[in-house]
Amino acid sequence: MIAVSNRISRPAKGASPGGLAQALSEALRGSNGMWIGWSGDFARPGSDLEIERDGDITFGLVDIAEDTYHRYYEGYANSVLWPLFHSRPDLAERTPGDFAAYRTVNAEFADAVAEAAQPGDTIWVHDYHFLILAEALRARGLAGTIGLFIHIPCPPLDVFRRLAEARTIVRALTAFDTIAVQTRRDAARLAECMAATAEGTIRTSRGGLRVDACGGSVHITVKPIGTQPAEIRRSLETARPAEVEAYLARAAGRTKLIGVDRLDYSKGIPNRLLAYERHLEGDRSRAGSTLFTQIAPPSREAVAAYAAVRTEVERITGRIVGAFGDLASSPLTLLTRPLDRVGVAHMLANADIAMVTPLADGMNLVAKEFVAAQDPHDPGVLVLSKYAGAAEEMVDALIVDPHDLDEMAAAITAARTMSRGERRERHRSLAAVVERTRIERWLGSCLKDLAPS
Ligand code: ADQ
């Protein structure tokens, strides 16, 4: 099998905070596959696919010319597709030539895959960076199974229609044999977008949907991604980093709330801070009995909407700290740098309440990591947005609408006062979801779909 994704996570180069990278490296570890992705370098003239062995994974590294990379990555992928797929067409920013660069990168990756592939190899493509890759692979004569996993949510048809390249993309999507998405809602939306755009038809098939359009037939399935609960528990057996120890000393006796996200407008960080502010306004003494820690390393900073959300988060944080902090302490900490995985696991394990409140999210692995990290005998409470893919299964979280600040503030109060019996009962149900969808199972189920029938 050859897996393809924009970013790859090479152990020798240090960990990456992206959910996709973590999932894929687990997926390929120990298997005989190759993982093809961007090398992190800009192309030297005439550079070819570079093969590198790192640990037990073989990597195929693709260089891309600098200008092309920026137009494809910050441009089409993250200024057009990402906002649209997260139902924020108002944030989409088109620059002439961006789609041409996206096409170029897909073609260069297709060349790399064609160079590495043996006849009959299965190609497993990841995410919105490569929506048109299968068409380019077919044009290069690859006849094996080609699957796509879309990690992000799919937009409703009225949003998808605003994409100038909607027809071109749908035609290219029909060159995949199978497309997996995170939720039933996304499967229904994708099928509708494809069928409506290309005048195709939708039918149910083998537990999923099948779209017949443009002379092709694509099987759409639902494969909710998960985490590695056993690895998280192992992390918790290692010593707490000194920084986490110092935090715990400072937080002693307080209700600890936590948010862990890339600093992305889709994650709803401003709304959750505003809800916390409202919770504090309800009773000022709460400022002394709670500590909210938001860990949010900036990402995609070259994109204007990301710089804007960072400014907004810093502004709201400043206001809360100024209004509710005193010389001795503050009810809110903002950390704009990543923590390593062990640090994150310990922070999640020690939190009483996790605020996972995206405005749109394919799945959201932090929701599952929090549940996996908690002590089942005295667990904390997950406050979860109904717009996270995770909410489709994790129904026993406190489900909130992140646009409704009063509802979120009330959820914080409910979480703080919830009986231990109720917390245990909810946790039992959530932990069962985390086990059922753990990464090895997700992988097995995805691979079964990709196997030639
Ligand atoms: P992301 O948008 O990156 O992933 P998410 O699912 O939350 O979102 O995964 C992030 C991962 O990075 C988690 O494992 C988390 O622990 C880690 N992480 C996040 N913030 C961190 C921080 N501040 N420091 C250290 N680690 C941090 C995309 C989609 C999601 C989908 C995943 C997987 O947007 O919807 O769930 O892919 O399919």
* 2-226+440-450 is classed CATH 2.60.40.10: no
Report whether 407 contacts 401 (CB < 8 A).
Answer: yes
What percent of the chain is modeled with pLDDT above 90? 84
Residues 74 and 101 sit within 8 Å (Cβ to Cβ): no
Mean pLDDT of the chain: 93
Note the maximum CA span of the chain: 69
Average pLDDT over residues 273-300: 97
**Residue 317 clears pLDDT 50, i.e. is over it:** yes
404 catalytic? Reply is no
- Residue 8 — very low, low, confident or very high, per pLDDT cuts 50/70/90? confident
* Domains 2-226+440-450 and 229-437 in one fold: yes
Q: Is the pLDDT of residue 133 over 90?
A: yes
Q: Stretch 165-185: mean pLDDT, rounded?
A: 98
- At 206, is the pLDDT very low, low, confident or very high (cuts 50, 70, 90)? confident
Tell me what pLDDT residue 22 has. 61
Q: Please give the C-alpha separations between residue 426 and each of 366, 380, 441, in angstroms, as whole numbers.
A: 17, 10, 23
Mean pLDDT of 192-216: 96
Atom 35 of ligand 1 has which residue's CA nearest to it? 362
Q: Of the residues 86, 126, 129, 151, which is catalytic?
A: 151
Catalytic status, residue 70:
no
Please classify residue 260 by burial: count the beta carbons closer than 10 Å to its beta carbon, then call 0-12 exposed, 13-18 middle and 19+ buried: buried
pLDDT tens-place string over residues 340-385 = 889 999 999 999 999 999 999 999 999 999 999 999 999 999 999 9
Per-domain boundaries in the chain: 2-226+440-450, 229-437
Q: What does the angle CA 203 – CA 205 – CA 206 come to, to the nearest 5 degrees?
A: 165
Residues of the chain above pLDDT 70, percent: 94
Give ligand 1 pocket residues (Cβ under 6 A). Answer: 17-20, 22-23, 151-152, 225, 260-262, 295-297, 338-339, 344, 361-366, 369
Reading the block at residue 422, the tokens are 């109720």
Supply the CATH classification number for the domain 229-437.
3.40.50.2000
> Which segments within 28-176 are labelled E, that is strand?
34-42, 50-54, 57-64, 123-126, 146-149
pLDDT > 80? residue 10: no
DSSP string over 62-102: EEE-HHHHHIIIIIIIIIIIHHHHTT-GGG----TTHHHHH
Set 361, 396, 427, 449: catalytic member: 361
Q: Which residue's CA lies nearest to atom 26 of ligand 1? A: 17
Q: Say what the pLDDT of residue 28 is.
A: 73
17 pLDDT tier (thresholds 50, 70, 90): very low
Residue 18: the pLDDT is 47
Residue with tokens 């893919």: 389
Q: Which residues have CB under 8 Å from 284's CB, separation 6+?
A: 324
Q: For residue 12, what pLDDT is reported?
A: 66
pLDDT value at residue 14: 57
State mean pLDDT over 11-35.
64
What is the average per-residue pLDDT within 70-99?
97
